[in-house]
Structure 1
């Protein structure tokens, strides 16, 4: 073991969570090592809400596309278009976006190393020692180590740091995600213009089977058991490229076959395939994020991916910031209890939303009959407005109690079978 050095904090993982924590702590004058395994791009739809761009100073130049609507496709192939009136959702390509975040951390003063974390040990002073295999090493047995006062594990789902240091991390359930990045088809410019200015919803009895229906300003989400038995499939625009993917927790289900089927049925099988990627996505936050000593988790390693939607970039950015704040408090006071602040603050602000989304996923994604009803409910203007408000601003909307009450009665009508799918439940109450 060579190159022993001292750091205030070693951050393992250079995705949105790790890079954000590195930027914040380095900006405070802390000695930071950002250790990242190179060459890996996480399968990701790439959506980030305006709030993420505002809170984390992300320039619009990092966006590969701007989405102005979402299309929700039911098992029957009927669909609902949900326009984002007066706003948009940004789409990023995780390869260049994550690298930009890492470069920002380096500019803030963090040291960058490419390597793979192997284990954590203790020295004679009981200080944490991070062992890793440097990326440039030709011998797999080559190992370097650094001493550090604190460790942030931001090394993704199935985190090695979490498994070694945090009780219960090995049992965290995951959804398997897989996507293929293809070259975007030539889209009709007028289709994008119509989507960005539309103020109404629409339904259809079938989906298009040609790339002429592809809209570079619209995300398509497929709630169909044949494509995903317990989650969903997607077609998300990334400017010059498109992400076509699927997720499921069901073992034995072929994600590759599902993506092949979706590409054939939409005509996107004619587009050039640029790369294929797969990775696990955690289903819910871990009950504990720190070891009560000097290690805390962030991002996917902590399980902060929103149920039902699978959204993770905003929550990873936030988790990295909260982990950085907790580590700064720990370094300033020497009190390891400060590390628990990361989870406490996150769950205070977002725990209720995660709980509600978890219930939605378990109930509505159970079978195609319920998925059909779920998509039909999305045709409701109240549902659309509150859904986008909650997504864009990352909070439950409380300003329209009458709308919440209407949605409650409409949902109950669907749950009790009082109305059929696609029937406008209580629309006249508005």
Structure 2
């Protein structure tokens, strides 16, 4: 029995799903946003560090901000490298509050949000599609003209089975939310603090991010894991996180508020299916998460905004022009993703500790904080490449000037 009909059903209340529901409901459509957890505080995994730009871009309120940061710091196995700013460069969001905000905006726009609804299956009809959900009281069905797959790395809606999915690279992480002394918090309250190298971040990276006063996020993540060894992976990431707390922060008297974690899967070169059988995929279901790190939330929300425009056209005209949606997104992001993918593979999977140390040291010598931010968050390597070229050119000029056999005109 179909309980209710909508223009669109969004499955998954993450940043992409929530932003899509917010965008489309604001256009006057009847949208249903479903979330499998009973509260947005559950499964609260995202380091949620970003620059200031998304606050204005998506009109994100101050209530969602956990902390502001102005410095970037990277601790390698041997040395610490710091890039200091003189004003706020970005924020760390409260991931649960962000998702709740997007859901509340959807409700304000006259649409519905249902928590505790786990997607089961879909049934394609001539005039739409029916989605079935499991709830605490049984099974319910809703009908729509389109389904939106916002289920992230599981891609549960757009694909009917694992065999249909493209080749995926797997990764994930574990994060501890802890309350610490004021002295410890003050050391990290203005920085995004990363770890690279085997000592603190074996074949991946770790982090310490500030939240509200005396609250820190400490976590560890890794790319290129085997899913059949996921339990082993989570255990190793927990050990790495606890090592940072105990040996780097050097504290035993902290209060553990929460432990959460998650798995990511992305398609190299973004070979995902963006549309199939009245299902539009968004966010991490089309690999908006980037393996290098950076503003995964921002890119998921940008993708949702783009998809909402194409869904709007479909609902107005009936034209399934979603090939253009895929093409436009890939044209804009594919090269950046491939560059950061290559950087990630070298840094996390191939480089020795010594090589990581040399690379980060060289970047520290040749770039300012704004250039590093452009690289980490916007995946723009122009300034870094230009600076490296200038330094290399100066070295060549110096070398040739010491050679009496070379004549300069």
Common topology (TM > 0.5): yes
Distance 1:379 1:390, change over 3 A: closer
Structure 1 unmatched ranges of 5 or more: 188-210, 419-430
- Residues 1:340 and 2:314 are matched in the alignment: no
Match of 1:233 among 206, 216, 224: 206
Distance 1:411 1:89, change over 3 A: farther
* 1:309 equivalent in structure 2: 293
- Residues 1:261 and 2:239 are matched in the alignment: no
Distance 1:43 1:215, change over 3 A: same
Match of 2:216 among 210, 220, 242: 242
How far apart, in 2, do the equivalents of 1:290 and 1:220 lie? 35
4+ aligned runs moved over 6 Å, structure 1: none
Count of paired positions = 379
Equivalences for 1:159-170 in 2 at 5 Å?
159-164=155-160, 168-169=164-165
* 1:201 equivalent in structure 2: none
- Asked whether the 8 Å contact 1:12–1:152 carries over to 2, the reply is yes
How far apart, in 1, do the equivalents of 2:185 and 2:315 lie? 56
How far apart, in 1, do the equivalents of 2:15 and 2:328 lie? 18
How far apart, in 1, do the equivalents of 2:174 and 2:389 lie? 34
Q: 1:130-175 CA distances to partner (integer Å, 9 max, x unpaired)?
A: 11112x42xxxx2111111111111121221133289753642221
- Asked whether the 8 Å contact 2:200–2:240 carries over to 1, the reply is yes
Q: CA deviation at 1:408?
A: 3.8
How far apart, in 2, do the equivalents of 1:237 and 1:212 lie? 8
- Asked whether the 8 Å contact 1:350–1:395 carries over to 2, the reply is no
Q: CA deviation at 1:343?
A: 2.9
Distance 1:227 1:391, change over 3 A: closer
* 2:367 equivalent in structure 1: 382
Q: CA deviation at 1:43?
A: 1.5
- Aligned to 1:385, what secondary structure does the other structure show? helix
- Asked whether the 8 Å contact 2:2–2:143 carries over to 1, the reply is no
Query: Taking structure 1 as the reference length, what is the TM-score of the superposition?
Result: 0.81
Higher strand share: 2
* 2:74 equivalent in structure 1: 72
- Asked whether the 8 Å contact 1:41–1:94 carries over to 2, the reply is no
Distance 1:302 1:244, change over 3 A: same
* 2:357 equivalent in structure 1: 372
Q: CA deviation at 1:302?
A: 1.6
